[in-house]
Structures are given as C-alpha cells and as structure tokens.
Structure 1
Amino acid sequence: MKTFVSSISGKEFPESEKMHAKIIRKAIFDLINKEHPSFNHNSYISVSELNQYRQKYISEYLLDEVGELGELEKDVLETIQNQEAISSKIIMEEGSVKFTYGQRLADTIASFGGSWKFIIIFGAFILVWMCINIIFLSSKAFDPYPFILLNLILSCLAALQAPVIMMSQNRQEEKDRERAKQDYMINLKSELEIRMLHEKLDHLIIHQQQELLNIQQVQVEMMEDIMKRLKKE
C-alpha cells in the first residue's frame, strides 16, 4: 500500500488520505501555518489531521463570536468531535435530573388546581355547604350566613395554594430555561456543521477541478501523440 509522510507530523499515512496544501481553505491553512511555520503550499497533510485543524478553526471561531466558551459551547464541540447527535447529550442531561418529592407534589397540585375538574368539584363543594347551612340546617346551622367558616376555609386554601402555584411556576421557568439551552445547542451545532459542510464542499469542488484538469492534460497529451503519429504517416 502506498503511503506518504505528513509535512506537519512526520507520520506515514495511506495515499488515499493525502491532501495537498493548495486545496486547503485559507483560514485553515493560516491556522496550520501558525503552528507549523514550515508548512507551505507545496506541503501535504492527512485528512485526519486536517479534520483536527477544522475543529480548532471552529473552536477559535466560537471564541471570536462568543468571547469565552461556556459549558454549552464545549458540549456542542464535544458532540461534533465525537460525531454524536446533540439529542443524545440532551437526553443524558434530562435523565440525570431528579425532582424532589416536594417539587413533584407542587407540580401535581398546581396542575389539578388549574383544571376544570378542580373548579367543578370546588364549586359543587361550596354549593353543598351553602345548601346544608341554609336549607337543611337552617335552625342549627354550623356555619350560618354569611358563612364565616367557609370564608376562612377559602382564605386558608388561597393562602396555601398561592405559594404552591409559585413553586410550580418556578419549576416551569427552569424547564423553559433548559429548553432554551437545548434550542441554543441545537442551533449552534447546526451552524457549525453547516460551516464544516461548506468547507468540505469547497475542498471537494477544488479536488474535482484538479482531477478534471489532470484528465484534460492526459487527453491533450494523447491527442498530441495521435497528431504526431498521423503526421508521420
């Protein structure tokens, strides 16, 4: 199997991974040249090494855009380097989150308290309470009109329900923030993947153009040989 020696690492790689420096995008070429000053347009590099510098280029691009890489940006870069789907990272993070009993209870109470079921049941309870004290126990009502005990119960219920709903709202805000982070990670990875795709497409187009030029050169040489033979005849 034919091999070649990389100009930056000095290691041998298969000929199929050989990349000429001339077809590397200028931004990435400058990045390689910055670390390896001897690297020039006549040098060669392997595809795997070029991919590593593409990753570095993306990291530096993020640093320029964001200013400092946070955990989200690092997670996105990690998924790109490992060629993983960002959804797997998100699922792992969601699976590691554990809610306390109080949080689950607050969510359940808030969900029930904001439903038609609660409104109907509580409306029926108030109606039954009033009917019992006005109609059935009119002379010996335990809570006669204006239903002071009922008002006390309603006030206590409202006082307890309000902080429970606020706790649930806080939990919902946390969920919304997590969803926003996930959307940001997905959008960021999409942008970086598109940039890498453009880089690969540019490389492919340039490589194909060179191949076509080589084929044309061979065809021209063949035509010249044929013309020479015809002239001799």
Structure 2
Amino acid sequence: MARRDTPDARQANHQAAENIEAILKLEKEAEQELSAFHRLSHAFGGFVGTIYFAVLQCVAVLAWIGANTGFFGNAPFDPYPFPLLATLLALEAVLLTSFVLIRQNTMDRRSERRNHLDLQINLLAEKEATSILNVVREIAEHLKVDVAPDPEREALSKDTPVEDIARDLRAKEEEQS
C-alpha cells in the first residue's frame, strides 16, 4: 500500500493541484470577460447574501422609523405608516432580485461549463478503461491464460454508445413527464 508521502503520491497531488489551478484560471478569465456592470452586479449580489447586509438593512430601517417617530427629536419627513419607506423597500426588493438573478445566471453558466467538462473527462476515462480491458484481454490471449467467459466483462470491453444512452435517457425522461 502506497504511503501519502511517496514520490508517486506527491506527483499525483501536484498534478491534481495543477488541474485545479488551470480550472480556476479559466474561471477567472471568464469572470474578467464580463462587463464592468456584470462584475459590479455580481459583487453587489454577493454582498446582499451576507449577514452584514441583513444587519445594515435592519439598522437603516430602524433609523428611518426612529427619525420619523420623533425618536431623534426631529420632525418626521415620512410619518407613520411610512409610505416612502415602503416604496423604497419595494424598489430595493426589485433591484436586489435582479442583481441576485444576474449572479445566479452567471453561476448557472459556470456550472454548465463544469458539467460539460466533467462529461468530457468521464467519456475519456471510459474510453481509457475500455482500452485497458482490451489490452489485458489481448495479453491474456497472448500468454494463453484461460479466462472464464464473462458477458459483463465482454460488454464493458466494447465502446460505449453514448448517443444511444443519451437517447434512452431522454426517452425515459419524456415517459416520466
């Protein structure tokens, strides 16, 4: 059993780190390709989802109510039931929803790219595994090793018909809907 600090393990960890860095670099480049408005809306949409924004929002509303109930000793500019505050909060809700949806759409596109990359890697790994099974079978034949017939192994050593699987999956999804 290989230990984690062996040269092979260190090489594998190094390769994994390089792969992660490459993916992060591609994502950062994609982020930089966005317009300044999109980057700003992403930053704002990200801030809106924090506890800091919730606290800031509560403090602002309480200050508004305090200022309009005479708590600070001033004349109210938006007396109870605070119609101006309600209007501003409704406008804020619409804008915040838009910022969050813009950010979510970008995250969805990033997720789709990652899923596509995962699919490509999985297809490549499946092709490599099929090739390895075929090489092992050929080695066994060459060395005249008697291997018991196994229908599952035979099926796995053939190329996977990806298009057929995709069509079958789509048909089953349509049946269920």
TM-score interval w.r.t. the shorter chain?
0.5 to 0.7
Q: How does 1:1-233 map to 2 (within 5 A)?
A: 94=27, 96-97=29-30, 98-136=33-71, 140-209=75-144
- RMSD of Structure 2 on Structure 1 (CA): 2.8
Provide the TM-score with structure 2 as the length reference.
0.60
Task: Give the percent of matched residue pairs that are identical in Structure 1 and Structure 2.
Answer: 25
Provide the TM-score with structure 1 as the length reference.
0.47
Contact 1:90 1:182 in 2 (8 A): no
Contact 1:110 1:164 in 2 (8 A): yes
Contact 1:112 1:118 in 2 (8 A): yes
Change in CA separation of 1:121 and 1:190 when aligned onto 2, cut-off 3 Å: same
One-letter amino acid matched to 1:175: R
1:121-148 C-alpha deviation (Å, 9 max, x unpaired): 1011101111121133567211111112
| Greater share of strand | 1
Where does the alignment leave 5 or more consecutive residues of structure 2 unmatched?
A: 1-17, 146-177
Matched residue of 2:143: which SS?
Answer: helix
Shift of 1:89: 8.1
Shift of 1:173: 1.2
Number of matched pairs: 126
Where does the alignment leave 5 or more consecutive residues of structure 1 unmatched?
A: 1-84, 211-233
1:82-127 C-alpha deviation (Å, 9 max, x unpaired): xxx9879866754652332222222211111122211111011101
Higher relative contact order at CA 8 Å, sep ≥6: structure 1 or structure 2?
Answer: 1
Q: In structure 1, how many angstroms separate the alpha carbons of the residues matched to 2:96 and 2:44? A: 8
Change in CA separation of 1:95 and 1:197 when aligned onto 2, cut-off 3 Å: farther
Matched residue of 1:136: which SS?
Answer: coil
Change in CA separation of 1:184 and 1:124 when aligned onto 2, cut-off 3 Å: same
Matched residue of 1:135: which SS?
Answer: coil
Q: In structure 2, how many angstroms separate the alpha carbons of the residues matched to 1:95 and 1:209? A: 54
Q: In structure 1, how many angstroms separate the alpha carbons of the residues matched to 2:124 and 2:78? A: 65
Contact 1:133 1:144 in 2 (8 A): yes
Matched residue of 2:34: which SS?
Answer: coil
